[in-house]
């Protein structure tokens, strides 16, 4: 019998990945995966951009590239991030193979076995998996409608064994859909200053806002650039161009960057040059801005369709908030409800979603569920939500 490492032995397959096998069935309406709609990808636009590229650039696209990323993409991405107010010239930018790799690299850079890491509860399953792979002790801090609980966060900060870092997704949180308030972000900054606890700020969905009046709330903490906190800002092309490119990035202080580059070098040497060339061309053409604006409106339409269906079919005892951007809606059921029973019944009816315990760092709390509207038409949403609502009523009464 092979003798695997303790870290590998503790790994488990993501329930979301397991559920994706159901998503391919034509008789199932899937609200499980946070996948952009295939019909929304800019296929023709990217094909045209590629045709217009110089032959030497096309040849370079088939070649290995520098570990930090192709210089051309680093330059164009810096311009893209500068428009968000991010301090790109005071930090270093590293291209990663999806933002999942960024989280994995940061986990490897900071975590020794059984060391505590602070995460939101609920938390993005990809982050939980990455940090668990280094045998971290995950400490969940509750999230409410304004963001992470500052009182609980301060209690965790004050514990004798100092956390290695805090991980948050403040902009249309995965899975809770929450957009942090400006006040809550300021409270978080105050709580972290002087603690020597780095902040990992994951911003995969911030560009997909529905309302322009949220602009102030969308300003990254990294852009605020507070003193006394090492902030590692991560992002991705997955939601604003296509996950198949497998391209993300991290913007980190110089003293953290060096270790991260070495870790990436040992992991994959470099991210795909071919898709880096495509992403660079898309940014430089200016089409990335019009494309994001277009998909933003489409996701708003799909979110509105789900909100309308939930209002019509859900019982009053289910709690949820209307999304202001991103991909997700989070439903909270009566205390003691087992959402696994509900999803089992929903699958029999022809719809699937992800249960709450998937996103709990301890894998326990299960009276909640995540619905994703990004990969469904309004018609599919109108057909699928009654199935989910009926399953909830059958189990909860």
At 44-88, the pLDDT tens digits run: 999 999 999 999 999 999 999 999 999 999 999 999 999 999 999
- Positions in the chain whose pLDDT score sits under 70: 7, 9-24
Phi, psi of 108, rounded to the nearest 5 degrees: -65, -35
Host H or E run for residue 352: strand 351-352
Q: Which fold has domain 6-42+289-396?
A: 3.90.1150
pTM: predicted TM-score of the whole model, two decimal places: 0.95
- The DSSP result for 147-182, as a single string, is EE-HHHHHHHHTSSS--S-EEE--BS-TTT--B--H
Residues ≥6 apart with Cβ < 8 Å to 359: 121, 122, 123, 124, 125, 128, 175, 370
Phi, psi of 368, rounded to the nearest 5 degrees: -150, 170
Q: Are 312 and 354 in contact (CB under 8 A)?
A: no
pLDDT at 18: 63
Largest CA distance in the chain: 65
Phi, psi of 44, rounded to the nearest 5 degrees: -65, -40
- Beta-bridge partners for 209: 325
Q: What is the pLDDT of residues 260-307, one digit of tens each?
A: 999 999 999 999 999 999 999 999 999 999 999 999 999 999 999 999
Q: Are 153 and 120 in contact (CB under 8 A)?
A: no
Q: Where are the alpha helices (DSSP H) in the chain?
A: 6-9, 15-23, 43-51, 55-61, 71-82, 98-110, 125-132, 150-157, 182-192, 221-224, 254-267, 273-284, 287-313, 339-349, 378-396
What is the spatial distance between Cα 233 and Cα 215, in angstroms, rounded to a whole number? 18
Beginning with the edge strand found earlier in the chain, give each strand of the sheet holding 248-252 in spatial order: 92-96, 248-252, 231-236, 199-202, 166-168, 116-121, 137-144, 147-148
**First-last CA distance in the chain:** 49
HEC profile of 62-115: CCCCCCCCCHHHHHHHHHHHHCCCCCHHHCEEEEECHHHHHHHHHHHHHCCCCC
Q: Are 326 and 338 in contact (CB under 8 A)?
A: no
Q: Look up residue 12 and give its two tokens.
A: 């488990």
99-129 b/e (C-beta count within 10 Å ≥ 16 → b): bbbbbbbbbbbbbeeebbbbbbbbbbbbbbb
pLDDT at 97: 98
pLDDT at 327: 98
pLDDT at 2: 84
What is the spatial distance between Cα 253 and Cα 249, in angstroms, rounded to a whole number? 13
∠ CA 308-311-346, nearest 5°, is 95
Please give the class, per CATH, of domain 63-286: alpha beta
DSSP state for residue 356 in the 8-state scheme: G
Domain boundaries, the chain: 6-42+289-396, 63-286
């Amino acid at each position: 019998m092979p003798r695997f490492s303790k870290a590998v032995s503790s790994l488990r397959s993501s329930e979301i990945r397991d559920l994706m096998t159901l998503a391919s069935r034509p008789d199932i309406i899937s609200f499980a995966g946070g996948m952009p709609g295939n019909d929304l990808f800019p296929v023709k636009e990217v094909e045209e951009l590629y045709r217009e590229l110089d032959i030497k650039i096309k040849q370079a696209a088939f070649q290995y590239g520098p570990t930090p990323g192709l210089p051309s993409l680093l330059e164009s991405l810096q311009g893209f991030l500068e428009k968000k107010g991010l301090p790109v010239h005071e930090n270093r930018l590293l291209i990663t193979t999806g933002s999942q790799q960024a989280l994995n690299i940061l986990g490897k850079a900071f975590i020794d076995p059984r060391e505590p890491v602070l995460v939101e509860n609920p938390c993005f399953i990809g982050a939980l998996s990455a940090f668990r792979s280094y045998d971290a002790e995950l400490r969940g801090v509750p999230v409410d409608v304004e963001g992470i609980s500052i009182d609980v966060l301060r209690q965790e900060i004050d514990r004798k064994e100092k956390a290695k870092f805090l991980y948050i997704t403040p902009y249309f949180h995965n899975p809770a859909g929450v957009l942090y308030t400006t006040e809550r972000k300021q409270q978080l900054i105050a709580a972290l200053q002087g603690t020597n606890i780095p902040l990992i700020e994951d911003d995969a969905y911030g560009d997909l806002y529905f309302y322009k009046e949220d602009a102030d709330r969308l300003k990254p903490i990294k852009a605020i650039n507070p003193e006394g906190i090492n902030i590692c800002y991560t992002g991705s092309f997955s939601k604003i161009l296509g996950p198949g490119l497998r391209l993300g990035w991290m913007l980190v202080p110089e003293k953290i960057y060096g270790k991260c580059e070495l870790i990436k070098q040992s992991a994959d040497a470099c991210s795909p040059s071919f898709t880096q060339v495509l992403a660079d061309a898309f940014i430089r053409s200016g089409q990335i801005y019009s494309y994001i604006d277009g998909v933003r409106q489409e996701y708003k339409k799909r979110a509105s369709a789900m909100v309308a269906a939930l209002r019509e079919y859900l019982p009053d005892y289910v709690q949820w908030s209307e999304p202001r951007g991103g991909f997700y809606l989070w439903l909270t059921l009566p205390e003691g409800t087992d959402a696994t029973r509900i999803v089992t019944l929903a699958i029999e009816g022809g719809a699937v979603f992800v249960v709450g315990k998937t996103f709990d760092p301890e894998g326990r709390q299960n009276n909640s569920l995540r619905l994703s509207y990004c990969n469904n038409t309004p018609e599919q949403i109108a057909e699928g939500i009654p199935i989910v609502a009926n399953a909830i009523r059958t189990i909860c009464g």
